[in-house]
């Protein structure tokens, strides 16, 4: 998993409540188990007409937001089904951070397992960051995970809280497999002792 330390990039304003995982990546695109290739279908039904043409007023079809690395979103982001394809699609599109006042639990957990930082802020801070993102002349935010801050282009820094273990995993690029591999020497030692003590197994 790619490490997350500091991220500076264009923030796209997505001021919609209750964005669910079917909106993030519709069910017809869940046939793959690959983590790559889903970015082109991110928010598919919101980005594209049935003939494949772009819906011009959707934010990710507008410049400069086509290159967004950060989303500033409405409350309860990632609700709905538990599909891990949702963070896969965000990551494949280039989004590595989502800022909201609240997230659905499963989506929130899946973000950390895929190298995406979900940041919970107050409604007032979210509204200020949303206003920053709406400024097409300078919609860039700078996220600093070690310091747990978001630098605004024309305003004070916003601080955020994060669980220390999840922070460590992102900083070190550790998913569940990576955490297990950190214990590989202990696992090997256990297997040697078990083979000696119980060779019939």
Q: What is the pLDDT of residues 12-68, one digit of tens each?
A: 999 999 999 999 999 998 887 777 889 999 999 999 999 999 999 999 999 999 999
Establish how many alpha carbons lie within 13 A of residue 77's alpha carbon, considering only the half-sphere containing its beta carbon.
28
Helix locations, 94-183, DSSP H = 105-113, 123-134, 164-172, 176-181
- In a domain, residue 184? The reply is no
User: Cβ-count burial of 117 within 10 angstroms (0-12 exposed, 13-18 middle, 19+ buried)?
Assistant: buried
Q: Is residue 17 part of a domain?
A: yes
What is the CATH number for 128? 3.20.19.10
Report which of 123, 159, 156, 154 is spatially closest to residue 139, judged by C-alpha positions. 154
Q: Would you say residue 113 lies in a domain?
A: yes
Domain containing 96 equals 6-173
Is residue 111 in some structural domain? yes
In tens, the pLDDT along 142-183 reads 999 999 999 999 889 999 999 999 999 999 998 766 655 555
The answer to the question of residue 183 being in a domain is: no
Q: Please indicate, yes or no, if residue 185 is contained in any of the structural domains.
A: no
pTM across the whole model: 0.88
Residue-wise pLDDT for 59-105, tens only, equals 999 999 999 999 999 999 999 988 899 999 999 999 999 999 999 99
HSE value, Cβ hemisphere, 13 Å, CA-based, for 148? 12
User: In 3-state terms, what secondary structure has residue 129?
Assistant: helix
- Quick check: 24 and 72 in contact, CB under 8 A? no
Residue 186 belongs to some domain of the structure: no
Cis geometry, peptide bond prior to residue 172 (ω within 30 degrees of 0): no
Task: Answer yes or no: is 47 within a domain.
Answer: yes
Number of domains present in the structure of the chain? 1
Give the sheet arrangement for strand 6-14, strand by strand: 117-120, 97-100, 70-73, 6-14, 140-144, 149-151, 158-159
């Amino acid at each position: 998993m790619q490490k997350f330390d500091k991220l500076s990039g264009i923030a796209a304003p997505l001021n919609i409540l209750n964005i669910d995982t079917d909106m993030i990546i519709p069910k017809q695109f869940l046939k793959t188990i690959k983590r790559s290739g889903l970015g082109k279908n991110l928010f598919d039904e919101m980005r594209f007409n049935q003939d494949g043409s772009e819906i011009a007023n959707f934010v990710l079809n507008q410049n400069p937001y086509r290159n967004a690395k950060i989303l500033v979103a409405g409350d309860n982001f990632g609700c709905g089904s538990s599909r891990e394809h949702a963070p896969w699609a965000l990551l494949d599109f280039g989004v590595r951070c989502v800022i909201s006042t609240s997230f659905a639990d499963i989506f929130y957990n899946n973000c950390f397992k895929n190298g995406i930082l979900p940041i919970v802020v107050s409604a007032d801070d979210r509204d200020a960051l949303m206003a920053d993102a709406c400024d097409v002349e300078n919609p860039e935010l700078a996220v600093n995970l070690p310091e747990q801050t978001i630098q605004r282009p024309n305003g004070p820094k916003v601080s955020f809280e994060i669980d220390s273990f999840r922070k460590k995993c992102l900083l070190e690029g550790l998913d569940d497999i990576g955490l297990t591999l950190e214990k590989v020497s202990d696992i090997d030692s256990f297997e040697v002792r078990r083979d000696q003590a119980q060779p019939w197994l």
